Amino acid sequence: MLSEPGAEQNHLYSQPVPGWKGLPFQGLETMSGYPRGLTKMSEKPSYEELEQRVKKLENQIAEYARTLEGLKESEQQWRAVLKNAPCFIIITDRDGTVRYVNRSVAGLTPEDMIGKNIDEFEDAQYHHYSRQAVEQVFEFGTEGCYQVRGPGPDSTHVWYEIHFGPITRNGQIVAAIFISTEISERKQTEQALRESEQKYRLLIDNYGDPINVYDRNGVCLVMNPAAAENLGGKPEDFIGRHVKDYLPDQADAILERNRKVIESGKGASFEEILHFRSGRKWFWSNFQPVRDAKGKIYAVQVISYDITERKKTEEALYRARKELEIRVGKRTAQLVKANKKLQHEIEERKRLEKVLMQKEKLKTLGAIAAEVAHEIRNPLVSIGGFAQRLKQKHPELQECDIILSESKRLERILARIRSYLEPVEMHPQKCSVNDIINNCVHLLSPETKARKVKYRLNLMDDLSPAYVDPEILSQIFINLIRNATEAMSEGGDLYIRTFETGQDIQIEFKNRSPALRIDEPDILFMPFSEGGKSIGLPLCYRLLKEMGGVLSVAAEDGFMVSSVSLPKLSDRQDEKTTREPNNV
């Protein structure tokens, strides 16, 4: 027998309520009155009409039975789903009285909860939440969510997150549904995160050095008071703003460093200079990537350590070191100069001592030589006189000519000895070597012109002065020029050049002499050896040596080169000549 339509609705709140948004089992309430497809029969239907009506009725009853069976199966499935759902589902009426619970809650069975008000299962301080939810559902038909504490397992209290909404039938709100999920673990995690964030925030806010966090685009996410103080404001003045808004000059460098950290995924440290209104500051900044729960980098944290005082100290030390180096350098230069001056004075003193000793030797040797020459000269004159007389008496005797020739040669040797050993008194002063050369050239021009010798002068401009006796140096140059012109029997060019090398002045006399051959150059300066041509070169050598100079002679590709080296004027000598102005 068919059930009356709506007969199964007497347990509306003890089972899932058809018509609530999202529940599939609905449609029974539409089956009221005559079954679908049946029409009212006439007062006296025929047999055929009755038979037709019966068949239609049987078909509709079968269809209704199948529909009812499907609804029962669907209802059983949803009951199983609701019963095994991890959340708690409660349905209440307009007064908040529980009409349905899907399963036991905290040791309470559905039978223990049905008929009681929903706020009895929440801590007292949260009762107003459930009351407001019921009122919101029935008055406005809206949905919502709130969190409360309520009874949990083993007489504990746990947190629930409750989503609520209306259940409707035929467009009317007939009940309120509450879906509760235990979130105690999540609340604990959130609380731990809040505490951690609070500690982190406390640490950041009280950290003495600037801390900034930028997102991938350069927008400031976090800034502590130390960083904001440098910018002349508070953290809230800069959080949410792009770094270019408050650090326009340094923004590009900061963004580039952020980019490198984000791309590499590794932290890095940089030394940087930032310009604030208060002035320039140096920082040693550490950039670290900030990752989300999935490990993706979404920001860069920058902790900057103010090293301004250290840099100022380093700069002060650098300047002091440079100043000290300059002072030490100057003092060292002074010491080097003084040392060179002292060495020069020592060398000059040694040279003067040698010159003095040489003079004493020459003086002694000269006295001995004069006495010996005098003793030799007397018998030599007698020998020469007797040989002359003997030649007059016997002109045919060749021996007389030999005696006379050797006597004259011996007289020349004695003259050379006297000339070489005779002491020379020198008067050194500041001299221009080029001027002395020009004077000698002018003096000897008639003589060299007669020998068809031409001068080729190459005198250095701004040649340093020398400290010598100008008269003696002139005699030396004249002797060297004459030696050169005598060597050029057919005339030619005489090259005279002056130049400097280090602390010396160089004078070079160069003339062509193809037949010249110098096997032992040192013999040229020995006055009594077989290689000695005259007393000229040995005397020049000795006089130059006494003035601190050097004379050398060499043969180079058919040329004879006589080189004179003279020391430059020293500071001490210059001071002396300034006090006694007799310069040439």
Q: Average of pLDDT values for 369-397?
A: 78
Element (H, E) at 537: helix 536-546
The CA distance from 229 to 249, in Å, is 18
Instruction: Render pLDDT for 497-541 as a digit per residue (tens, 0 to 9).
Output: 999 988 899 999 999 876 555 555 555 665 544 434 444 788 888
Q: Pick from 306, 336, 366: which residue ends a domain?
A: 306
1 belongs to a structural domain: no
Give the contacts of 49 (CB within 8 A, at least 6 positions apart). Answer: 41, 42
Q: Are 373 and 414 in contact (CB under 8 A)?
A: yes
Of 583, 448, 567, nearest in space to 509 by CA: 448
Tell me whether residue 218 is in a domain: yes
Residue 485: count other Cβ atoms within 10 Å of its Cβ: 20
Under 8 Å CB-to-CB from 117, ≥6 apart: which residues?
95, 96, 97, 98
Let me know: does 389 contact 437? Beta carbons within 8 Å: no
Residues 15, 76: one domain? yes
Instruction: Identify any residues that bridge with 159 across adjacent strands, giving them in sequence order.
Output: 149
Indicate if the pLDDT at residue 555 is higher than 80.
Answer: yes
pLDDT recorded at residue 22: 39
Three-state SS for 529?
A: coil
Q: Please tell me the distance from the alpha carbon of residue 559 to that of residue 71, in angstroms, as a whole number.
A: 138
Spatial contact of 532 and 523, defined as CB atoms under 8 Å apart: yes
Residues 205 and 136 reside in one and the same domain: no
pLDDT digits (tens, 9 = 90+) for 165-216: 999 988 899 999 999 888 888 888 888 888 888 888 888 888 888 999 999 9
Task: Output 14 or 382, whichever has higher pLDDT.
Answer: 382
106 and 66 share one domain: yes
For residues 230 and 158, membership in a common domain is answered with: no
Same domain, 25 and 161: yes
DSSP class of residue 551 equals: E
Q: What CATH code is carried by the domain that includes residue 373? A: 1.10.287
Residue 172 within a domain? yes
Residues 319 and 402 reside in one and the same domain: yes
pLDDT band at residue 577 under the 50/70/90 scheme = low
- Pairing relationship of beta strands 466-468 and 504-512 according to DSSP bridges: unpaired
- Is 380 inside any structural domain? yes
Mean pLDDT of 553-577: 82
For the domain that residue 508 is a member of, what is the CATH number? 3.30.565.10
Q: Can you tell me the distance from the alpha carbon of 28 to that of 442, in angstroms, rounded to the nearest whole number?
A: 149
Q: What is the CATH classification number for the domain harbouring 274?
A: 3.30.450.20
Paired residues of 306 in beta bridges? 283
Give residue 358's pLDDT: 65
CA atoms of 387 and 381, how far apart (whole Å): 10
Domain-ending residue, one of 153, 182, 211: 182
Assess whether 366 and 249 both reside in one domain. Answer: no
Q: What is the pLDDT of residue 220?
A: 94
* Whole-angstrom distance, CA of residue 381 vs CA of residue 304: 111
Which domain-ending residue is among 363, 395, 419? 419
167 shares a domain with 34: yes
Please report how the helices 470-487 and 433-450 are oriented relative to each other, as an axis angle in degrees rounded to 10.
30
Report percent pLDDT > 70 for the chain.
79
What is the percent of the chain where pLDDT is above 90? 29
For tokens 């300066």, the residue is: 525
398 and 453 inside one domain:
no
Please give the tally of structural domains in the chain.
4
Most confident of 61-70, 135-144, 150-159, 423-432: 135-144
b/e map 513-530, b = 16+ CB within 10 Å: beeeeeeeeeebbebeee
Q: Which of 278-287, 317-326, 369-378, 424-433 has the lowest mean pLDDT?
A: 369-378
How, if at all, do strands 453-458 and 492-501 pair? parallel
Q: Which amino acid is at 420?
A: Y
Tokens of 337: 């100069």
Asked if residue 87 is part of any domain, the answer here is yes
Residue 243 included in any domain: yes
Residue 584 in domain = no
Residues 157 and 37 in one domain: yes
Asked whether residue 2 is domain-assigned, the answer is no
Q: Domain of 363?
A: 314-419
Q: Which residues contact 462 (CB under 8 A, 6 or more apart)?
A: none
Residues 223 and 178 both lie in one domain: no
One domain for residues 31 and 115: yes
